[in-house]
Amino acid sequence: MIGLISATAAGAAARDRLAAAWPERTRVYEGPVGEAVRAAFAECEQVVCFLATGAVVRLLAPLLGGKAADPGVVCVDEAGRFAVSLLGGHGGGANELAREVGEVLGAEPVVTTATDSAGLPGLDTLGLPYEGAVAAVSRALLDGEPVALEAEVAWPLPPLPVADQGSYTIRVTDRAVPAGEREVLLRPPSLVVGVGASKGAPAGEVLALVEGALREAGLSPASVAELATVDAKAEEPGVVAAAERLGVPLVTYSAEELAAVEVPNPSDAPLAAVGTPSVAEAAALVRGGELLVPKRKSAGRPAMATCAVVRRPGRGRLAVVGLGPGARDLLTPRAAAELRRASVLVGLDQYVDQIRDLLRPGTRVLESGLGAEEERARTAVAQAREGHAVALIGSGDAGVYAMASPALAEASDDIDVVGVPGVTAALAAGAVLGAPLGHDHVSISLSDLHTPWEVIERRVRAAAEADLVVTFYNPRSRGRDWQLPKALAILSGHREPTTPVGVVRNASRPDESARVTTLAALDPATVDMMTVVTVGNTATREIAGRMVTPRGYRWQASQEGAE
């Protein structure tokens, strides 16, 4: 919950705007400011004070307990110009809260945390349990000192400016090892503990078994992602309590799923009891991984629980990102966030140049020239399979004549794939022209490099006969100068010579140009690969220099009846 506190009418107005925007997340504290701050500090995870920072500092000083426990605090000035992350920037989430408050109120977020200011992700904000010298290693990263990354377990991390060797170390490990003096340990959730239990198995016996198995194998409990068992034990009190004490979810599978898993130590007892020859090993292995601790029994007499431990490899992450048509303000916030998240960026060199300034320090860039789409897709998927967080970029929308289709054709279910939509060229050009896509429309690429012309021609004829507005991508190049005239001739067989045609070059970019002409007057020689050509249907009209296709045909009929 976010506590909201104000002292003046102006502050209350901004406070109420925030409360209206986040009704489920916020609580307004009324009354004397000092009492309100003390109450919110004790009861909320985060606090937004519409007060001067000096006043808030004095009020908070006696309440501070430590960065691990204090809530995040953001101050907003009377004029609503700035949202200042004052306390708990990382641990309390105040840095991100300042950005969110800024978006709602139109305020400038002020974040002074060194790593955030330098564009580096904080080692304590990666969502992984951590141990060791976070401050010292973070300072080394900021100062440009060599910091080595030792990934004993592959895991998709955000970009970090690390080296092969260094006097400071970031180690990604699930082993129970102590952190060195100049080392940070990051604990990935790589371990799955499979558990089998008899009816009435005590929670203490289950927990002692799991903790003992991890300890003897030299594994860290902080890296346990989940306890797994059979559906029949989903509500077994001892198993449920053990998961709660470990602070991990309890995941269950059907007996049929577990019976299909090949295990080294099957048994007749669970087969008779729940319908599968293995519970502990099968539940740990059902989604793949390396068996680190084979099935072992608890110390009770008789033993009432079994467990096994598996290490699952980190799943790489591939974000296929559409950059939009070129203008920075048409790059979506989600796309920008994915660019900052990726430790590896793959893309066409000219597209990389467009967004290079948005990349965080340490991002590894793999760029190539025109005509290497399949190679880029293979490279991006291969990097994700190695456990990296990868962004594969393309212009417009990555799913429209761009990188998504070759990448997804290459990818399998061993990586996570995220699609990030972008403003595609047809939409950017349509906005420049007016409203040519107001009714049914189709996009057709005239490039026959990957599609036979016979197929393209059949699609153009179908669009012409169906009276669809047509947007032509890749309309004409120096080596392909006859396809556009041929396509226009096909459309001319079904539409009047006066049909409006929009021609937009470099939509949204500084050298953008646009014009509206007609099907008869369009000169294909004025079109190139940077151009989008939009041909209207029989209802499309030019109104005040703009192309308009009505949403229905009643408007067209009334116009014709009035003539």
Q: What is the pLDDT of residues 186-224, one digit of tens each?
A: 999 999 999 999 999 999 999 999 999 999 999 999 999
- pLDDT value of residue 158: 87
> In this predicted model, what pLDDT tens digit does every residue of 65-106 receive, in sequence order?
877 788 889 999 888 889 998 888 777 888 889 988 888 888
Q: CA 535, CA 517: separation in Å to the nearest integer?
A: 10
Band of the pLDDT at 551, cuts 50, 70, 90?
confident
Compute the average pLDDT of residues 233-258.
Answer: 94
Range scoring the smallest mean pLDDT among 3-12, 182-191, 237-246, 350-359: 3-12
Mean pLDDT of the chain: 90
Q: Which is higher by pLDDT, 271 or 540?
A: 540
Band of the pLDDT at 557, cuts 50, 70, 90?
low
DSSP codes joined into one string, 455-505: HHHHHHHHHHHTT-EEEEES--BTTB-SHHHHHHHHHHTTS-TT-EEEEEE
Q: How far is CA 267 from the centre of its chain?
A: 43
Does residue 540 sit in helix, strand or coil? Answer: coil
Q: CA 425, CA 445: separation in Å to the nearest integer?
A: 12
Percent of the chain at pLDDT > 70 equals 97
Q: CA 153, CA 69: separation in Å to the nearest integer?
A: 30
> How far, CA to CA in Å, does 128 sit from each of 97, 131, 153, 187, 313?
20, 10, 13, 6, 15
- pLDDT value of residue 118: 67
- pLDDT value of residue 279: 93
- pLDDT value of residue 423: 94
Closest CA to 199 of 227, 239, 226: 239
> In this predicted model, what pLDDT tens digit does every residue of 448-457 receive, in sequence order?
888 899 999 9
- pLDDT value of residue 300: 79
The tokens for 416 are 């996570």
- pLDDT value of residue 307: 95
Query: Residue 513's beta-bridge partner residues?
Result: 505
Please list the alpha-helical segments (H only) found in 88-236: 94-105, 114-117, 134-143, 203-217
Percent of the chain at pLDDT > 90 equals 62
Give the CA count within 13 Å in the CB-facing half-sphere of 378.
5
Range scoring the smallest mean pLDDT among 54-68, 77-91, 110-124, 502-516: 110-124
- pLDDT value of residue 556: 53
From edge to edge, which strands make up the β-sheet containing 224-230?
Answer: 250-253, 224-230, 191-197, 305-311, 290-297
Q: How far is CA 297 from the centre of its chain?
A: 41
> In this predicted model, what pLDDT tens digit does every residue of 18-44 receive, in sequence order?
899 999 889 899 888 888 888 988 899
